[in-house]
Structure 1
Amino acid sequence: MTLPALDTTVDYPAGRTESTATVLHVEPLPTGLVAVLLDTTPVHPVDAGWPDQGPDRAVLRTQGTELPVLDCVVGATDGSALYLGRDIPMPNGTPGWAFVVAHLVAPDDALAEGLSVVAVVDAGYRQRMSAGHTACHLASLALNRALADRWKKEVRTDALDNPDFDGTAIDVSLIGENGSVDTYRLGKSLRRKGFVTEGLTGQLAEVESVVNAALAEWVATGASVRIDRDGPLLTDRRYWICELPAHEARIPCGGTHVSSLAELGVVRVALSTADAEGTTVLTMETFVG
Structure 2
Amino acid sequence: MTLPLEDTLVGYPSGETVNSATVLHSEHLPDGRLAVLLERTCVHPVDAGWPDQGADRAVFRVAGAELSVLDCIVGATDGRTLHLGREIPVGKGTEGWAFVVVHVLAGAAVIAEGDRAEVTVDPGHRARTSAGHTGCHLASLALNRALADRWKKDTRPDGLGNPDFDGVAIDVSLIGENTSTDTYRLGKSLRRKGFMTDGVTDGLAEVEDQVNASLADWVASGAAVRIDRDGDRLTDRRYWVLELPGRTVRIPCGGTHASSLADLGSVRVELSTADVGGTIVLTMGTFIG
TM over 0.5: yes
Aligned to 1:60: 60
Aligned to 2:283: 283
- What is the identity, as a one-letter code, of the residue corresponding to 2:214? A
**How do 1:9-20 residues align onto structure 2 when only pairs under 5 Å count?**
9-20=9-20
Contact residue 135 and residue 288 of structure 1 kept, 8 A: yes
- What is the identity, as a one-letter code, of the residue corresponding to 2:195? F
Contact residue 79 and residue 97 of structure 2 kept, 8 A: yes
| CA separation of 1:109 and 1:252: change in aligned 2, threshold 3 A | closer
SS, match of residue 190 in structure 1: helix
CA shift at 1:107, angstroms?
2.6
- Which whole-Å CA distance do the structure 2 matches of 1:202 and 1:156 have between them? 26
Q: Spell out, residue by residue over 1:52-86, the C-alpha distance to the aligned partner (whole angstroms, 9 max, x if none).
A: 00000001111110110000000000011000000
Give unpaired runs (5+ residues) of structure 1. none
Aligned to 1:218: 218
User: Where do 4+ consecutive residues of structure 1 move more than 4 Å?
Assistant: none
Find out whether 1:84 has 2:69 as its counterpart.
no
Aligned to 2:185: 185
- Which whole-Å CA distance do the structure 2 matches of 1:244 and 1:155 have between them? 23
- Which whole-Å CA distance do the structure 2 matches of 1:84 and 1:197 have between them? 38
- Which whole-Å CA distance do the structure 1 matches of 2:205 and 2:246 have between them? 26
SS, match of residue 202 in structure 1: coil
SS, match of residue 47 in structure 2: coil
CA shift at 1:110, angstroms?
3.1
SS, match of residue 213 in structure 1: helix
CA shift at 1:47, angstroms?
0.3
CA shift at 1:246, angstroms?
2.6
Under a length normalisation based on structure 1, what TM-score does the superposition of the two structures give?
A: 0.99
Aligned to 1:240: 240
Aligned to 1:103: 103
Identity %: 70
**How do 1:1-289 residues align onto structure 2 when only pairs under 5 Å count?**
1-108=1-108, 110-289=110-289
Give unpaired runs (5+ residues) of structure 2. none
Contact residue 76 and residue 82 of structure 1 kept, 8 A: yes
CA shift at 1:95, angstroms?
1.2
SS, match of residue 149 in structure 1: helix
SS, match of residue 111 in structure 2: coil
- Which whole-Å CA distance do the structure 2 matches of 1:193 and 1:42 have between them? 40
- What is the identity, as a one-letter code, of the residue corresponding to 1:154? D
Contact residue 216 and residue 266 of structure 1 kept, 8 A: yes
SS, match of residue 136 in structure 1: helix
CA shift at 1:123, angstroms?
0.2
Q: How many residues matched?
A: 289
SS, match of residue 270 in structure 2: strand
- Which whole-Å CA distance do the structure 2 matches of 1:233 and 1:121 have between them? 19
Q: Spell out, residue by residue over 1:111-140, the C-alpha distance to the aligned partner (whole angstroms, 9 max, x if none).
A: 010110011000000000000000000000
Q: Spell out, residue by residue over 1:135-174, the C-alpha distance to the aligned partner (whole angstroms, 9 max, x if none).
A: 0000000000000000000000101110000000000000
SS, match of residue 201 in structure 1: coil
- Which whole-Å CA distance do the structure 2 matches of 1:142 and 1:51 have between them? 23
CA shift at 1:22, angstroms?
0.4
- What is the identity, as a one-letter code, of the residue corresponding to 2:282? L
- Which whole-Å CA distance do the structure 2 matches of 1:32 and 1:285 have between them? 37
SS, match of residue 124 in structure 2: helix
CA shift at 1:109, angstroms?
5.6
- Which whole-Å CA distance do the structure 1 matches of 2:109 and 2:173 have between them? 39
CA shift at 1:32, angstroms?
1.1
CA shift at 1:92, angstroms?
1.1
Q: Spell out, residue by residue over 1:25-50, the C-alpha distance to the aligned partner (whole angstroms, 9 max, x if none).
A: 00100111010000000000000000
Contact residue 2 and residue 24 of structure 1 kept, 8 A: no
- Which whole-Å CA distance do the structure 2 matches of 1:159 and 1:8 have between them? 30
- Which whole-Å CA distance do the structure 1 matches of 2:22 and 2:285 have between them? 40
- What is the identity, as a one-letter code, of the residue corresponding to 1:127? A
Contact residue 63 and residue 110 of structure 1 kept, 8 A: no
Contact residue 34 and residue 109 of structure 2 kept, 8 A: no
RMSD: 0.7
CA shift at 1:108, angstroms?
4.0
